Structure 1
């Protein structure tokens, strides 16, 4: 029902809100209202509206936080939205009994939506914190995070990374394809890797530096300079065992992920071989410096493999002596730049080797003949 020209009442029980009705501004107008004989009397814009018996209580608004009384009169639908706070209490106090269930339902709907919004904002907050938490984790628990990721990388995927390094090695270095050095490295390597999950690839490269490295997935590269410096095949076997241990313990993969970022590890895990980060794998492996813990673990595992293969483990410590005896003033051997040695470490290796008395099986390699066939064997200072 519509009455024109009425003044806004000032009696107790009046509460404020906003009125929407035909003929009013589309965004509604400020209004006051009060209950009278079970109907709502609304006063706004110099007019008065009276709700009918079919009026309903509804929740509305973006988050269902608004409370409205809705009815239809001769001009169309009318909506009175009660302001929050004290007006809501006054509205509820005079509410007719037949509208109480609807009022409770509207309040429950508003509470449900409010809870959803709180959860939504909490989820957004957590989502925004994820990058921060990841960075914090990588900074404070980088080893744990990298170790966790690497455990999910299958050996088959890791082997593909080894294939990539293999291709890059062949592109950047001259690989010695055959001969006694290649046969000896393969013979030693196969004895050290019995039962491995990897299918190893053994490479000897024509490089004068005293160096060797293991790539993820079972690729071991030995420099001719190292074979030339080793006094016995057991010394070379000690280095190869140490590198095999790095591969079996996945130190190279862990170091690559740590150096190049978790993105590189995720690329390996997902089989994405197009990323630029993986293109840096060769360089990172050549320059990688393992932690003392990783070096100690590789020493222990390398010695264990030498013993299992019946190769004298003293060769690992003996080669450190060989490195130390390099001519004074010469450049630091390449192997020492990435695998730091020390007197204590050599002593620990020698002491550990003494715990295994043998007997040992001599490696069937004519070491002197092998060294004579290496590139540069006729240069001054090379082993004869």
Structure 2
């Protein structure tokens, strides 16, 4: 005979139930105080408790629904081992139900783990394949949205730029730019900023700004053409757009991909764009494609490596445009090697004298 502590829930008892003792006597189950026998058939078994290691016996009689709960795991195990044969069928159903519950719990925990792991997984995939993902998304952003992003960025920086767009130097910029961008899908703007730094930059959508200090550093217009050809290719290859896509990460990519850039997101992207630098690979790519565009335009392509030689020869800290770029000498040599591999291409000198123009 086994005595097992339990809690009884029956009509007429408090809602919280009553502590009782269950006696297992051979083929019968009996409750002490109040004394009653459990029916031999019709008892349903189910697991209860926080960890589902307890056991409940439930049955119906003329007085209503009754339930006997054994929450202690060891006591429940003792009862299971002592249940009379009349409950073996219910015990088999309980075992099957337990397996289903455990399977459901495992699935639930797996789903929960996947829910929390998915953002990390997506972030990991984005970091691992940032360049191809950014390229794929950038190619699906409408040109008008790209243009808006570039214009927003240019508007923010205008306050710090003293533009000299009415000068002779600005006119030469536009002449070279128009020659290098014939047939482009972009409508380009070329601006001259009165700044002493040797710098030039391209914004998404076709806005290119050249500092007067860069033009003063050139010795002939073909060198300026080499710089412009490089910056134009940053636009054509959508390097700035890809940069901001990578910078934003997973946030807002869907809005970019669908062309639905809200004003807040566009403003944030434009602000970040001002501080982004192109990667070394992007710079090398713009060099190579820029050299090709010079050849197509009939402009002496040697002006591009010649300008890098000028930069390499300058003493002191590297110019701003080279702070995160490949070294000037390295880029110059790569361009000269490419030119050496090509058949000689006649290029008529631009012949703009005197040089540099009035800025």
Compute the TM-score of the two structures, normalised by the length of structure 1.
0.73
Change (3 A) 1:266 1:169: farther
CA distance in 1, matches of 2:62, 2:282: 86
CA distance in 1, matches of 2:203, 2:250: 18
Secondary structure of 1:293's aligned partner? helix
Secondary structure of 1:372's aligned partner? coil
Change (3 A) 1:146 1:88: farther
Deviating more after overlay: 168-177 vs 193-202: 193-202
Q: Is contact 1:259-1:284 (8 Å) kept?
A: no
Describe how 1:10-29 pairs up with structure 2 within 5 A.
11=1, 17-28=6-17, 29=19
CA distance in 2, matches of 1:199, 1:159: 9
Deviating more after overlay: 54-63 vs 166-175: 54-63
Match of 1:86 in 2: 77
Change (3 A) 1:112 1:175: farther
CA distance in 2, matches of 1:349, 1:307: 13
Shift of residue 30 of structure 1?
4.9
Q: Is contact 1:204-1:221 (8 Å) kept?
A: yes
Question: Are 1:218 and 2:206 an aligned pair?
Answer: yes
Structure 2 unaligned segments of length 5 or more: list them: none
CA distance in 1, matches of 2:228, 2:141: 20
Match of 1:319 in 2: 307
Describe how 1:266-277 pairs up with structure 2 within 5 A.
268-269=256-257, 271-275=261-265, 277=268
CA distance in 1, matches of 2:170, 2:270: 27
Question: Are 1:372 and 2:357 an aligned pair?
Answer: yes
Change (3 A) 1:76 1:237: same
Match of 2:298 in 1: 310
Deviating more after overlay: 62-71 vs 166-175: 62-71
Picking from 217, 226, 238, the partner of 1:238 is 226
Shift of residue 300 of structure 1?
1.8
Structure 1 unaligned segments of length 5 or more: list them: 1-10, 375-384
Describe how 1:127-206 pairs up with structure 2 within 5 A.
127-130=115-118, 137=124, 142=127, 144-145=129-130, 147-153=132-138, 154-156=140-142, 157-178=145-166, 180-194=168-182, 196-206=184-194
Higher relative contact order (CA closer than 8 Å, sequence separation 6+): 2
Matched residue count? 348
Q: Is contact 1:52-1:72 (8 Å) kept?
A: no
Describe how 1:101-120 pairs up with structure 2 within 5 A.
103-120=91-108
Picking from 23, 28, 38, the partner of 1:51 is 38
1:224-269 deviation line (CA, Å, top 9, x unaligned) = 2222322222211211122223333343344445567654767755
Shift of residue 215 of structure 1?
1.7
Secondary structure of 2:198's aligned partner? coil
Match of 1:336 in 2: 322
Picking from 321, 326, 350, the partner of 2:336 is 350
CA distance in 2, matches of 1:335, 1:199: 24
Secondary structure of 2:35's aligned partner? strand
Shift of residue 201 of structure 1?
3.1
1:282-315 deviation line (CA, Å, top 9, x unaligned) = 5304xx2x44333322222222222233322211
Compute the TM-score of the two structures, normalised by the length of structure 2.
0.78
Secondary structure of 2:30's aligned partner? strand
Secondary structure of 1:274's aligned partner? helix
Match of 2:272 in 1: 281
Change (3 A) 1:370 1:162: farther
Question: Are 1:299 and 2:287 an aligned pair?
Answer: yes
CA distance in 2, matches of 1:155, 1:192: 24
Secondary structure of 2:219's aligned partner? coil
The RMSD of aligned alpha carbons is 3.7
